[in-house]
Structure 1
Amino acid sequence: MRRRALLAALASLPGLAGCGLRPLYGPARDGATVAGELAAVRIETPKTPLGWTLADRLARELGVAGTAAARYRLVVELERRRNVLAVQLDDTVTRYELTLIARFRLIELESGHELLRSEDRRVAGYGVLRQPYATLAAERDAERRAAAALARAIRNRLALFFRERAA
């Protein structure tokens, strides 16, 4: 049975060649790569601990190491919301849901034109513990998880934009 499925999958591969499917990070017709475009993005986030966390995660995701000359500016605005998720019978909150919303714009440095405007949101939950410091640590961990997920989502959106632009 597995052999038959493998043969069917292999037989369908030649059909994919004509469908226009291209790897996201492969070179475009003009030789530019998505990875090269991502590395040329200068990141601007709010000057807050959460903004710095997101900027650090974005730099890792985009491959920004300071080696490529910046051609784009990514301006990110962050909104943080906290909602009660679970309450005990005595009205004691036991769980929160943290929502991070990023509104971002990609601007070409040379022309100053806005190339992309988008928004994304990510949610992370955390429990309320007996010790206040433990609850604070859980909240900070939820912020880091949500920021990491946002950075991946923004990277994916930018990668698709650069791939479509090169096509």
Structure 2
Amino acid sequence: MKPLMISLAALALSGCGLQPMYAGGGNGAVAQGLAAVEVPPIEGRAGWLVRNALNDRLGAAGEAGTRYRLDVRLDENLEGLGVVGDDAVSRERLILRARYQLVDAATDDILLDASDAVDAGIDVVSSEYAVIAAEQTAQERLANTLADRMIARVALALRKRAE
């Protein structure tokens, strides 16, 4: 009974047009395209974190030669949310927004123009050191999450271009 179910599921999936994003592994069009993306420096500490996270996910960046450029502008905002009786903030929200464009380096054509935002809540405690550490940790987490989202959208744009 189990082999029959697997066969039916495989048949149903093949009919829906579902295709793997990274077909061909490291030699596939998407993987090769991602390896050819250069990320110029991004301003600020958050920019440094996002750029490093992007370069980590791009893998062999620089090895395949630059074919694309990913221009990124960041906006970071820290706002107080919870206010207790003495007007002290008890909770903060860190928001990291990115506006980015994937540009063909040879023609300056914009292949992708998108924006994304992520946020995290931070408890404000009596220790200033603990609050600063929590803010930095949140910033690092948000940079990684933002990089994941950006790479997914860039991969989709490169896949669409390859088709």
Normalising by structure 2, we get a TM-score of 0.90
Q: 1:93 aligns with which of 67, 70, 89?
A: 89
Report if the CA contact (8 A) 1:41-1:64 is conserved. Answer: no
Q: Which residue of 2 aligns with 1:25?
A: 22
Report if the CA contact (8 A) 1:45-1:77 is conserved. Answer: no
Between the two proteins, what is the percent identity of the paired residues?
38
2:39 equivalent to 1:56: no
Q: Deviations over 1:105-136 (max 9, x none)?
A: 11111111111100000111211121212211
Aligned residues: 162
* C-alpha deviation, 1:46, in angstroms: 2.2
- The one-letter code of the counterpart of 2:21 is L
Q: Which residue of 2 aligns with 1:41?
A: 37
- The one-letter code of the counterpart of 1:34 is V
- The one-letter code of the counterpart of 1:8 is M
Q: Which residue of 1 aligns with 2:109?
A: 113
Q: 2:150 aligns with which of 154, 157, 167?
A: 154
90-99 vs 14-23, which moves further: 14-23
- 3-state SS of paired residue (1:98): strand
User: Unaligned stretches of 5+ in structure 1?
Assistant: none
- The one-letter code of the counterpart of 1:144 is E
Query: Following superposition, which runs of at least 4 residues in structure 1 exceed 3 angstroms of deviation?
Result: 6-10
Q: Deviations over 1:37-60 (max 9, x none)?
A: 111100024232111111000011
35-44 vs 150-159, which moves further: 35-44
State how far apart, in whole Å, the 2-side matches of 1:126 and 1:10 are. Answer: 48
- Kindly report which structure 2 residues correspond to 1:5-20, keeping only aligned pairs within 5 A, or say none: 7-20=4-17
Normalising by structure 1, we get a TM-score of 0.88
User: Unaligned stretches of 5+ in structure 2?
Assistant: none
